[in-house]
Amino acid sequence: MLSIILKLIVAAVLAGTPLLFGALGEILTEKSGNTNLGVEGMMYMGAVSGIAGAFFYGKAAGGAPVGVVAVLIALVVSFLIGALGALIYAFLTITLRANQNVTGLTLTIFGTGFGNFFGDFIAKNAGGSLVVTDGVKAMFKGIAIPGLSKIPVLGTLLFNYNWMVYFAVIVAVVMAWFFKRSRVGLNLRAVGEDPATADAAGINVTRYKYVATVVGGGICGIGGMYISMVSQNGVWVFDCVSGYGWLAVALVIFATWDCNRAILVALVFGALKIMRLYVALPIPSQFYDMAPYIVTIIVLVITSMRESREHAQPKSCGTNYFREER
């Protein structure tokens, strides 16, 4: 029994990590007053570019790539391409003042096309499939942390994951600190709550919005890379992101825009995603798959019933700021 629970939790952590990346990226974006519904698209962009980066590096290295370099390349490229998607969004909504919802959706359409198109295209030219070398694959497998991983129960529970899991948690903790304690974080919150006030206080609203949105997109891109490198084990699979981005957007709401809470909620979502493999109930498997979406709706309704002033979406989300508007 214990071992099943352990396995469930470990699997939930692995399934929840890309959601956590996506949610963190979106939290950062929304804190600047932009609701970017393009998370799914940016994750696709990150997914394909991360794997492609490692793949082409492997080819250039003549089939004997250095694992660490491949990892760094995947990380940096997926971040940059995710950020590129966000940059398009930022330019359209911040500079050209296009509607945030529609632009975000368009980014999802674009990013999905981007991912699937380049995935297919590279696979086709590579003789059928886009796969990284075994050496690179190994870099994204779990690492048994010496000593600690041997502790009974806790070792399995905490010290046997791949590096990206720890990285995600670190990003979350750093972001939480950033919003609560740092000066720049305070300024960013002001921008998201009330850009006119932030502007009058001498904060460069445009720059803050751009940086937060673009970096947020980069984090989403890393989440996409997790899907292609860890979840799909270094093989490009058509339509691989399939809704993870949207779940990440929902996760932001449950986490009430709080990065620490996002870690916990990501775990719950991850558990819902993989539950059917571990808990056998007499219901068709599709209903398990539906669970995260149904739970999202339920929580959405419950949170809307009791409104809170501080644990809520930044107030200016959805509206663009123009100083000379009158």
For another protein, the binding residues in 214-253 under the rule CB under 8 A are 243, 246, 249-250, 253
For position 117 contacting another protein by CB under 8 A, the verdict is: yes
Give the footprint of another protein on residues 56-95 (CB under 8 A): 88, 91-92, 95
Six token digits for residue 9: 């939790």
CA distance 208 to 250: 24
Number of residues engaging another protein in binding (CB under 8 A): 74
6 binds another protein (CB under 8 A): no
Extract the tokens encoding 89.
């969004």
Residue 143 near another protein by CB under 8 A: no
Residue 268, both tokens: 């719950």
Rule CB under 8 A: which of 29-48 touch another protein?
Answer: 37
Contact 160, 143 (CB under 8 A): yes
Q: Tokens standing for 238?
A: 């058509």
Stretch that binds another protein, among 6-14, 18-26, 56-64, 101-109 (CB under 8 A): 101-109
Question: Closer CB to another protein, residue 116 or residue 133?
Answer: 116
Interatomic CA distance for residues 48 and 58, integer angstroms:
15
Sign of CA dihedral 307, 312, 318, 319: positive
In whole angstroms, the minimum distance from the beta carbon of 211 to another protein comes to 13
Which residues 6+ apart lie within 8 Å of 282 measured at CB?
none
Q: Does 129 bind another protein (CB under 8 A)?
A: no
The gap from C-alpha 185 to its chain's centroid, in whole angstroms, comes to: 20
> In the complex, what is the shortest distance from the CB of residue 190 to another protein, in angstroms, rounded to a whole number?
5
Of 98, 158, 211, 268, the residue at the interface with another protein (CB under 8 A) is 98
Least gap, CB of 225 to another protein (angstroms): 19
